[in-house]
């Protein structure tokens, strides 16, 4: 059991080394592009499933992209998956239905498509002390911690109270863009 576990970890290490070789990090390990920039590069628009930024190395993506994510010291972090509940993990997860590998950097024909950028402005709050309202839908992102905690979380959206795991107790999803009619003061 232990042996098997170690073998898997070694494989994962090897794989991450290969995979992260051409990542956004420069030789001294300092990020040369902002995390938001890298995020945008991997998506056709905000909300599109990201392309897979490394080579194919396992049929089982959730071996590394597991519930907690897998940190490989000095190499990189395989972030955890935000939608284990919706699509399952392990043998029954069909990740490549939505996430594809890049086999080439070339394009077939030029395109004028410009996708929606992520809105990086601050989320709304009802008043200064109110918890911010979620600025995006939660479909396929039911595990908030995948993006908001851990090494893969971008600094600007990193949660400062990860020990509180019931996120929706305080943060609501905005499901409509129309405002509730303001109260009218009675004058009689």
CB of 54 to other proteins, least distance (A): 14
What is the token pair recorded at 103? 């086999």
Instruction: Kindly calculate the radius of gyration of the chain based on its CA atoms and give it in whole angstroms.
Output: 20
Question: Is 40 a binder of other proteins (CB under 8 A)?
Answer: yes
Question: Is 120 a binder of other proteins (CB under 8 A)?
Answer: yes
Distances (CA, A) of 40 to 27, 61, 83, 104: 22, 22, 20, 18
Check: CB of residue 77 under 8 Å from CB of residue 153: no
Residue whose structure tokens are 């051409």: 22
SS3 167: helix
Question: Is 135 a binder of other proteins (CB under 8 A)?
Answer: yes
Question: Is 104 a binder of other proteins (CB under 8 A)?
Answer: yes
Q: Which stretch binds other proteins (CB under 8 A): 8-16, 19-27, 114-122, 145-153?
A: 114-122
User: Quick one: which of 109, 166, 185, 186 contacts other proteins (CB under 8 A)?
Assistant: 109
Q: How far apart are alpha carbons 64 and 43 in whole angstroms? A: 21
Map the footprint of other proteins across residues 138-157, applying CB under 8 A: 139-140, 154-157
Question: Is 98 a binder of other proteins (CB under 8 A)?
Answer: yes
Check: CB of residue 57 under 8 Å from CB of residue 19: yes
CB of 71 to other proteins, least distance (A): 21
Residues that bind other proteins (CB under 8 A): 34-37, 40, 44-49, 51, 59, 86-88, 91-92, 94, 96-122, 124-125, 128-129, 135-137, 139-140, 154-158, 160, 177-179
């Amino acid at each position: 059991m232990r042996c098997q576990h170690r073998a898997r970890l070694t494989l994962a290490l090897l794989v991450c080394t290969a995979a992260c070789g051409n990542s956004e990090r420069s030789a001294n390990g300092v990020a040369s592009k902002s995390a938001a920039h890298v995020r945008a590069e991997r998506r056709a628009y905000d909300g599109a499933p990201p392309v897979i930024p490394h080579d194919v190395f396992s049929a089982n993506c959730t071996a590394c992209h597991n519930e907690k994510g897998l940190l490989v010291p000095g190499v990189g972090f395989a972030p955890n998956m935000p939608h284990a509940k919706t699509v399952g993990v392990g043998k029954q997860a069909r990740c490549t239905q939505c996430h594809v590998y890049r086999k080439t950097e070339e394009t077939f024909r030029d395109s004028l498509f410009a996708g929606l950028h992520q809105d990086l402005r601050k989320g709304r709050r009802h008043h200064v002390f109110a918890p911010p309202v979620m600025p995006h839908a939660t479909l396929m992102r039911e595990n908030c911690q995948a993006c908001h905690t851990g090494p893969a979380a971008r600094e600007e959206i990193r949660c400062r109270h990860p020990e509180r795991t019931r996120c929706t107790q305080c943060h609501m999803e905005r499901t409509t863009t129309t405002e509730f009619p303001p109260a009218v003061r009675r004058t009689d």
